[in-house]
Amino acid sequence: MNKPLWEAYALRYATVQRRRLENFIFHDLHDMATNMDYYVWFLKNDKETILIDTGFNKTAAKARKRNHLRCPIESLNQSGIKVEDLSDVIITHAHYDHAGNTDLLKKTRFHIQESEMSYATGPDMRHAFCRHAYDPHDICELIYANFEDRVRFHNGVYELRPGIEVHLVGGHTKGLQIVRVHTKRGWIVIASDAAHYLENFKNHSPFPIVLNTSDMLSGFELIKDLAESPEHVIAGHDPLTMSLYKRTGKSDLEIVSLIDPL
Ligand SMILES: [Zn+2]
């Protein structure tokens, strides 16, 4: 049966300059500067909007020396999406750059893999290596949301709506999930940090922040299997997203339509 069609968008909300060696375990000797962009993504039909990840706020940006361009949640409001009407938000993983700002979404139900939540609240967080990209305030917000019955925990694959699926990958974190969405362009995969850059995915070249390299490498294969083509893969932090797709919406917000490649 044909699945319903969704629109898909990326909204850039922050950026930082890094070096290539920070992005690839195997890197060439010509180590160059390269940007890392920060996005949230959202899926729309004529009835509702599903948000994927919630970004971070100004305070977190300052603490981690990121260039905060805009509040992603406020930006959604400005682009005509009533944030208070968001019923479901997918959290790909609970790192600070994906799971902040949830205090602004007091009625929303969050979808996260059970293994991600148990990892982020479990004994591994005593290790600086494991907890570095987590902010305990974000994790506590998710715990509060759970106490209000606003968290759905998934184990592996889950169909959130006809045409929207989450798939467990792990690798980068214990319970990282990716999102597969049916669009008029075909099946798109929003890989989040299963592929920080398209180059990580295309060359099967792991990103250095990795909990389980084997799962990250298998994740590249899963992304390829789930996407219509490699051109249907949306990387988590790649500045290329802004140049590969058509700008849409208000000009002062950096939103691109993932169903309109340039
Ligand atoms: Zn990230």
The rounded Å distance from CA 176 to ligand 1 centre is: 10
Q: What is the pLDDT of residues 5-30, one digit of tens each?
A: 999 999 999 999 877 677 777 766 56
Q: Which residues surround ligand 1, an ion (CB under 5 A)?
A: 97, 193
Distance of CA 52 to the CA centre of its chain: 6
Q: How far is the CA of 69 from the centre of ligand 1 (A)?
A: 16
183 and 2 Cβ atoms separated by less than 8 Å? no
pLDDT digits (tens, 9 = 90+) for 210-238: 899 999 999 999 999 999 999 999 999 99
| Residues ≥6 apart with Cβ < 8 Å to 159 | 165
Domains detected in the chain:
7-261 (3.60.15.10)
Distance 196 CA to ligand 1 centre (A): 7
Distance 193 CA to ligand 1 centre (A): 5
Give distance in angstroms: CA of 237 to centre of ligand 1: 7
From the CA of 67, how far away is ligand 1's center (Å)? 14
- pTM to 2 decimal places: 0.94
pLDDT at residue 18 in the model: 78
The 10s digit of each residue's pLDDT in 173-190 is 999 999 999 999 999 999
pLDDT, tens digit (0-9, with 9 covering 90-100), for 117-138? 999 999 999 999 999 999 999 9
Q: Residue 83 in 3-state DSSP? A: helix
Tracing tokens 């409001």 back to the chain, one arrives at: 77
